[in-house]
Chains A and B, each alone.
Chain A
Amino acid sequence: MAHPLREAAAISGVGETAYTRGTTKSALALQLEASLAAIADAGLSPRDIDGVVPYFPGGGIAEDFIANLGLPDLRLSLFVPMGGATCVAAIQSAAMAVASGVCNHVLISVGRTGYSGARVSTRLQQFPQFALAAEFEAPIGMFAPAQLYAQGARRHMELYGTTARHFAEIAVVTRRHAILNGNVVMNKPLTVEEHHASRMIADPFRLFDCSLESDGGAAIIVSRADRARDLKKPLVTIMGVAEGHPESPASIAQRPDLLEFGLVKSAPRAYAMAGVGPKDIDVAEIYDCFTFTVIRQLEILGFCKTGEGGPFIMDGRIGLGGDLPINTHGGLLSQGHVVGLNHAIELTRQLRGEAGRAQVKDAEVGLVTGYGDMGDGSIAILRRAA
């Protein structure tokens, strides 16, 4: 029997602000601007929104959405506290809300002033999930994600021979895609040599292995599939969706296998729900807080075996025109950092045929992942419904 959530919900609207380095707007204003854009994209009125899942901490809360959008009857207000895995995990929560009949249209949104406001180390102090890192690792000089995730990347290199050249390939291909998009922070070509020459942040991560600190907002609407069918845009349904939490979720250091992310648990569930496998995926938007994180997720997702991610991504495979185009919008590495909601937006546009110069020809089924909060992993598999 098909999973009750399979294609019960759809992504009916997507919206984003300009991605910049520098803004005078608040994170809340950016979040609301993107939300209004997503609502307009769906052909809805703000009054139609009856569920909200704002990114937390940072940006607005339910009260802000009622006050600014005049929501007449908000029926559900959720936080999904999973760091970079939040936005895609929120798609599961929203799908549950609309499939069960609690809501019709759930707004998932992010507003962030990562460049003009508080930077990453300061923001993380707000996360209860980082309390262990604050107590045991910050005092010895480890707290930023670049540092905490670097040890796993180093281990992958030592065990499997993954190299900086592989990391560079992710950065360079992602930049090439960003340039096609237009709404991006990084719009100049990047070479492998420039990647290798960029300063070391936390070995093995160089500057161009790290995602951007940027300002911007992003939003999507998850609607009940039958309601979405009558809306403005081509129907993009949620075939499979799942969140996963790793062992030792608040401490990478104590995790038995540093390379076993939450995606190890969520990916098989999402594939099973969707009734598809890696071979069916036409385009993939992979959470790219760091270049290495993409390589490891491609392994976990079953596109190649563990340890083979480095060679797998070479030779044009992940670029437009390759077997598996990834991060066709420029990702967190080159477009902007709105906690990966831009990845879900891009996948929706790809499946609608709205991806412009980065359009993957005949894209019908795609997947998007979220990764964060020390290794939580979320995934959604979307389909262009006929």
Chain B
Amino acid sequence: MSTAPVAAPAPERPLPVPTRESQPFWDGMREGRFLLQHCSACGKVRHYPRPVCPHCFSLESDFREAPTGGAIHAWTVCHHPFNFFFKAAAPYIVALVDMDAGVRVNAPLRGIAEADLRIGKRVRLGFEPVNKEVTLPFFVGD
């Protein structure tokens, strides 16, 4: 039996596990397209994906490509890495953005200094592949 110290395994990145409802959203992300779920009956957009339209209760929906622009609604700057995967990245800004498409997206914001953050500041969503299956969103200044 070896007594040599064993290096701790690198922390794993938490990744989305798509559901039957959300799979088209993540498929879109992988293709670099911001696809959002719309009710096939009343046309209203909803996010995160779910089986029933809360406005008209239709079970039918389709995913349509949506604009990637938006305005900052709120933000936080994450200093403490609750998941050790993010330790190297900390501190990092996570912006909550009112998308022009009518939903919100939470994603890391790059290229804007903390001191320059304002409610209403324009940003644009980008696509960052993290492996063959998963692409995650991020924001940059518009």
Q: Hey, which bits of chain A sit against chain B, CB under 8 A?
A: 120-121, 132, 134-144, 146-147, 150-152, 154-155, 158-159, 199-204, 251, 253-254, 258
Contacts and interface: CB of A to CB of B under 8 A. Distances in A.
Contacts of A138: 14, 83
A138 B17 CA distance: 11
Contacts of B86: 141
Given A141-B92, A155-B119, A136 B83 contact: no
Contact of B75 (A140, A151, A199, A200): A151
B104 A253 contact: yes
Nearest to A119: B82
B63 to A, nearest CB: 15
A258 B14 contact: no
Interface in B93-119: 94, 96, 103-108, 114, 118-119
A204 B74 CA distance: 11
A146 B79 CA distance: 11
A140 B104 contact: no
B80 A201 contact: yes
B78 A141 contact: yes
Interface residues of B, number: 40
Contact of A199 (B79, B114, B136): B79
Tell me the dominant secondary structure on chain A's binding face: helix
B48 interface: yes
Contacts of A134: 14, 17
B123 to A, nearest CB: 14
Contacts of A200: 77, 79-80, 91
Given A139-B13, A151-B96, A258-B74, A146 B48 contact: no
B35 to A, nearest CB: 14
B106 A136 contact: yes
B118 to A, nearest CB: 8
22 contacts: A121-B83, A135-B16, A135-B18, A136-B48, A137-B106, A140-B138, A141-B78, A142-B106, A146-B80, A147-B76, A147-B82, A151-B106, A154-B75, A155-B74, A199-B80, A200-B80, A200-B91, A201-B80, A203-B77, A203-B79, A254-B48, A254-B103
A202 B19 CA distance: 29
A202 B96 contact: no
B82 A143 contact: yes
A139 B119 contact: no
Contacts of B92: 141
Contacts of B13: 139
B19 A140 contact: no
Contacts of A159: 119
Interface string B30-59: 000000000000000001100000000000
Given A135-B19, A142-B78, A203-B77, 7 more contacts: A135-B17, A135-B48, A136-B48, A139-B136, A152-B74, A203-B76, A204-B76
Contacts of A253: 96, 104-106
7 A-B pairs with the lowest CB-CB distances in the bound complex, closest first? A150-B76, A203-B77, A151-B74, A144-B82, A155-B74, A138-B14, A200-B79
B47 A139 contact: no
B122 interface: no
B64 interface: no
Given A138-B83, A140-B94, A132 B77 contact: no
Nearest to A155: B74
B137 interface: yes
B83 A155 contact: no
B68 interface: no
Find the residue from A135, A152, A158 having the highest chain B CB count within 10 A: A135
A202 B74 contact: no
Contacts of A204: 76
A121 to B, nearest CB: 5
A56 to B, nearest CB: 22
A142 B76 CA distance: 9
B106 A143 contact: no
Given A147-B82, A147-B94, A251-B48, A141 B77 contact: no
Contacts of A144: 80, 82
B48 A132 contact: yes
A254 B54 CA distance: 13
A139 B75 contact: no
Contacts of A121: 82-83
B108 A141 contact: yes
Contacts of A141: 78, 83, 86, 89, 92, 94, 108
B46 to A, nearest CB: 9
A148 to B, nearest CB: 9
Given A136-B16, A251-B48, A143 B83 contact: yes
A147 B74 contact: no
Nearest to B13: A139
Interface in B1-30: 13-19, 22
